[in-house]
Structure 1
Amino acid sequence: MRNFIPLSLAQQIPNWTLGVTVLIPFFLLEVVRGATNRKHPSRGIRFAEALLLSYLLYSAFACKMIVVTGNISVYRPLLAYHILIAYAAFYCGSAVLLLISTIQKTEGNRKFMALIMTIGIAYGLCVALLFIYLLPIFGIFKGYLSSIGVLGWAIHWAIILVDYGALEISQVPSVLDERPILLKVFAPSLRLLQRFFCPNDYSERLRKERAALVEQIMLYDLDLRENANLSRQARYERVGERFALFL
């Protein structure tokens, strides 16, 4: 995309892009505060936040964040850019600390969801800082690769937004087929995390899901017995084919 940016906008577009990201750390911390039932800051802190955000937004849209030199990917950071990075790191770090506190104090799904959120935020922050701040110090400008961190962060939060469906240990086929592709891909790794960090909750969920699986097998066999003209062996084979994934 950057190859199609007119030279007349080479200074403006990168700065405006940074302006779009200014509010993300602020709203991220607000979401985490709400999810962890933490008190919101005082009016004095809110006023200071408003001043900081106003300054960063003004700097971005006034093209005072970075100076593009030569290639549009190569830039020289200004004071406002350093402040933006420090602000983003502080707010994302604060969100991670709140989530870690929640992990230590809670159990079950709430603890595991906090863990997933923590991993997503920490991963996204580390990757972003690497490509947009640390590497440019050494003359390596690969800012577009920061999207890898954004993708990882988005995947973790998307998993949370599907109402904990990824935590289901064993799904019967009729339910499994309805799950979003995201959960089908990442559910195994999430179950391993849950087994390690929340063993009691994992064991209880596994017990319930096994009971649900047995129930589905028995109901399916009963349906075949009443509505299909099959021998006992043929019926058993049909049940085995239906639930082969779980047996």
Structure 2
Amino acid sequence: MELRRALVRYGPLEALHAVDLPVPAGGPPTVLLGRNGSGRTTVLRALAGTVPLASGRVLWHGTDITRLRAHDRARSGLCFVPDRYAVFPSLTVAENLRLAARQDVAPALTAYPELRGLLSRRAGTLSGGEQRMLAVARAFVSRARVVLLDEPTQGMAPPLADRTYALLAALAPATTVVLAEQRMPPALLSRTVPLPVFVHELRRGAVVFSGEASEPRNPPP
């Protein structure tokens, strides 16, 4: 996917300033780095179609999908996991998984066997880390072609977070994964990720760096 000259406004506030941002397909996750307010979440929402562009375009395999609504992008194979309200709190864990599953929920339970004992629980009663685990698990069973995740491991214990990044990296090449993070996850720089991770760093609604995660970057002012 790709943003071209994407401008997003929230009322009088300009959140993205004519951003050009490509998302390469078939490799390790692409990481959007930045502090709160940098625009990384808005980039995900623009790609997902949950916020409109004031100007610019969204491309998917070269096709302009700027006017394609969010639910139509989802039907075409895009899965968006926001940082909040990513599960249905009144439904059970099993019901949340079945709603997302194209076939069965087995991949979710293989990735996160911890969910087996929670299947009958309502999602709203889970801890923050358990809800994030469920939200990411829903992405695994969606069989999506593109998965966008905003801080997917927020609230998870470090070993579970490391496992989650390994699982997301393993989705390639069938699935393109884009993560929004405040800091570069060390797990994505390990030897278990076979190819260099590509990074876009944002500050104040603009891309200030695009390249491999190992390349030096200027620190924020």
Q: TM-score, normalised by structure 2?
A: 0.23
Q: TM-score, normalised by structure 1?
A: 0.21
Q: Which structure features the higher share of helix residues?
A: 1
Q: Which has the larger radius of gyration?
A: 1
